Amino acid sequence: MSAPKDISVTERLILALDVPSPDEARKLVALLGDSVQFYKIGLELFMAGGYFELLDWLKAQGKKVFVDLKFFDVPETVASAVRQLRSRGADLATIHGNDSIMRAAVREKGDLKLLAVTVLTSLDQGDIDDLGFKTDVAALVLSRAKRALEIGCDGVVSSGLEASQLRANLDHRLLVVVPGIRPVANKPADDQKRTVDVEEAFEMGADYIVVGRPIRGAENPKQAAQDVQARIKAYFEKKA
């Protein structure tokens, strides 16, 4: 488990708003009400138009916002993008890239918390070999996370299965955000393969979990979100 951080229990669940339009996003947020306090908005909504109006609306509802656009470009371009973003009110954002890209982004981040993508979970060892990296995935994730923290990033996005090795080897200041959560012992008929459940994710060192389809696709999304929140609360009460 990670060291205690100043994170409110109800903000540890981040809902992935992977819907095609800001209208649908607003409807879902209204439906979920108090059951979700933190939302992740990514590329699909970015390409739909109205992204920053949605961000402003979420902030006006008192929500926290994770801008998941995985900036990746030459360092100065990433730095400029981060400079533009930092005054927009987002709480978390993702960047992707090597040391010089991360360094440029950190220089401009202000109060924005930056998460580094280490190795995309869609890449397997064969892909890493093809890219010419002479290392295994686990070692690469750890070394990328270590560099990210040294350079001044606030955290990383990590699969639940990698979280424990990050916790065991890195400074506890590192924020670890874990997607690919499957709250029930289901066999998902979707693209997530390396899944963990809610308690496992926190036990392995997550600070936040990102959940999308298991809540959005539930018969009663609000009830599903409340169930996840109840499990998070129970987990942290037991640990206290």
CB 7 within 8 A of CB 33: no
Kindly determine how many residues on this chain lie close enough to bind ligand C5P according to the rule CB under 6 A.
14
Shortest Å distance, C-beta 76 to ligand C5P = 25
78-86, 136-144, 204-212, 220-228 -> range binding ligand C5P (CB under 6 A): 204-212
- Binding track over 170-189 against ligand C5P, x by CB under 6 A: ---------xx---------
Q: Which residues pair with 15 in a beta bridge?
A: 39, 211
**Site membership for ligand C5P, residue 166 (CB under 6 A):** no
Contacts with 100 (C-beta within 8 Å, 6 or more apart), sequence order: 75
Catalytic residue status for 70:
yes
One of 40, 63, 70, 109 is an active-site residue; which one?
70
52-60, 128-136, 211-219, 226-234 -> range binding ligand C5P (CB under 6 A): 211-219
Share in percent of the chain as helix, strand, coil (round to 5): 45, 15, 35
Contacts with 159 (C-beta within 8 Å, 6 or more apart), sequence order: 121, 178, 179, 180, 194, 196
109's tokens: 């981040």
Shortest Å distance, C-beta 48 to ligand C5P = 15
The residues in 36-95 that bind ligand C5P, with binding defined as CB under 6 A, are: 42
CB 233 within 8 A of CB 12: no
The residues in 106-125 that bind ligand C5P, with binding defined as CB under 6 A, are: 120-121
190's tokens: 């979707």
56-64, 127-135, 145-153, 212-220 -> range binding ligand C5P (CB under 6 A): 212-220
Binding site for ligand C5P (CB under 6 A): 16, 18, 42, 120-121, 157, 179-180, 192, 210-214
Active site (catalytic) residues: 70
